[in-house]
Amino acid sequence: MGSMIDPRSEVLIIGSGPAGIASALALRRQGVPFRLVEKAARLADTWASLYPSLNLNTSRFYSHLEGHRFPWRYGLFASGRQYHEYLVRVVEREGLVVEFNREVRRVSAEGGLWRVAFADGVVEHYRAVISATGIYGRPVWPAIPGMESFAGQLIHAHDYKHPEQLRGRRVLVVGTGPSGVDIAVAASQVAAQTAISMRSGVDLKRRYPLGLPIHAWLMLGLLLPRPACRRLMRAVSRIGYPQQERYGLRKPQGAGLTAYQGPELLRVVQRGLVQPVPGPTRFVPGGVILADGSCYPADLVVLATGYEPVLHDYLDVPMQFSQDAWHSPSPCDWELGPNGQRGFPLLDRAQHPNGRQVLGQPGLYIVGVYYKGKGALYNINVEARIAAEQIAAWWPKP
Ligand SMILES: Cc1cc2nc3c(=O)[nH]c(=O)nc-3n(C[C@H](O)[C@H](O)[C@H](O)COP(=O)(O)OP(=O)(O)OC[C@H]3O[C@@H](n4cnc5c(N)ncnc54)[C@H](O)[C@@H]3O)c2cc1C
């Protein structure tokens, strides 16, 4: 099926998550027309299907879309459910049209345009495309020997939607990032027994160091000279729970693991409701053999082992990928970070220090890449604004 759309008339935005919505709002501000397509049957599918106890780990000050603050009743840290409800409201209020059930399968260059092939066989052509499909869509399944022999149920944190899945079972959660901790805490309320398996420890931080959320400290820090801001942020973000090691919750060695903000895990471990155990080495039919040689008998194992980038699954485009190591910059310094971090495509920085166009691919932009600094939900606004400004600079005026 061929294209009925005039390729010159609209920009295509792929994905209706925060990055796609921010891109639409930014293009509208620039007066550039767009279409917004989403593969699922509902808006921001990633957020629509998260487990109920999820709360944002970034505060209201830096998590909203530009021009749309969170309602005060959401408090300082909105829940995932509230955040999804918020996205739906913004889209309604702005009258954005989202085309649902339109999965993009392939984007490739053709005759100076972008050829976009959809799952239903429709092909359309565009002069400009914004890829806003989220970078961590593919759950990581670590290869632990013996998995196939395990007689219980093995799921990824991605498939955990409700505490009823945990009720009455002997649960082992593998992984100590925010999802692993949330799921272990939820299991402690309903499961027969719960353990959290940690290979490199767990990083527990205060949600309100010295009484204020970290983002409030950052707002104060940004009023200071840069070095003082860095020192302040280093000091407040270090404040954790010194007693955690006493309860078997080892501090991680080195950087890399995302910290969990809040005392919830420590509390349930103190009450004996969750047992911290070493990392898994092997599955056996009745459970998991741990690094200390013991066997944890489990009938449900939840792998909270993170996600891999899927950014470029459908981009059939020659891209150059960064070889740079991951950076952990101070939130005082970075809005958007370096040009690419390991595994991500290099972007064209010739016209703008944080340009969003894929290097060597005029008209192809990526929004929603950088997760450090002030946090992904904040950065998404900045990236969308830059992409829209860059497109508006060459888009024909009506
Ligand atoms: C559990 C969790 C908690 C997080 N909490 C925070 C937080 O508190 N603060 C923060 O700053 N960041 C947080 N993040 C990180 C980041 O803000 C989110 O991942 C955010 O959803 C990224 O927005 P996005 O629009 O880029 O991607 P997504 O929200 O994943 O949206 C992508 C959209 O694209 C659609 N799509 C995918 N492929 C296609 C295709 N081929 N064709 C058409 N549509 C497609 C998807 O269905 C989806 O609707 C969190 C991430 C996760 C996973």
Tens digits of residue pLDDT in 51-85:
889 999 999 999 999 999 999 999 999 999 999 99
Report the residue among 47, 51, 99, 377 best suited for mutation to probe ligand 1: largest number of ligand atoms under 8 A from its CB.
377
In angstroms, the Cα distances linking 192 to 118, 145, 293, 297, 298 are: 46, 26, 23, 12, 10
pLDDT in tens, 255-296: 667 889 999 999 999 999 999 999 999 999 999 999 999 999
Model pTM score: 0.92
Does ligand 1 come within 6 angstroms of the Cβ of 45? yes
pLDDT at 179 exceeding the cut of 70: yes
**Is any ligand 1 atom within 6 A of the Cβ of residue 213?**
no
As a whole number, mean pLDDT of residues 134-139 equals: 83
Q: How far apart are CA 244 and CA 249, in angstroms?
A: 5
Distance CA 207, CA 365 (A): 35
Ligand 1 contact, 304 CB (< 6 A):
no
Residue 338 structure tokens: 């370096």
Alpha carbon of 241 to those of 145, 210, 262: distances in Å?
A: 34, 12, 9
User: What pLDDT sits at residue 344?
Assistant: 77
Q: Does the Cβ of 373 fall within 6 Å of ligand 1?
A: no
pLDDT digits (tens, 9 = 90+) for 194-243: 999 999 899 999 999 999 999 999 999 999 999 999 999 999 999 999 99
Report the distance separating Cα 302 and Cα 346, nearest Å: 34
Q: In whole angstroms, give the CA distance from residue 381 to residue 335.
A: 10
97: CB partners within 8 A, 6+ apart:
35, 36
CA of 15 to the centre of ligand 1 (A): 9
The pLDDT, as a whole number, for residue 325 is 65
Q: Does the beta carbon of 38 sit less than 6 angstroms from any atom of ligand 1?
A: yes
Residue-level pLDDT at 156: 97
Q: Name the DSSP class of 163.
A: G
Q: Examine the pLDDT at 7 and tell me if it is beyond 70.
A: no
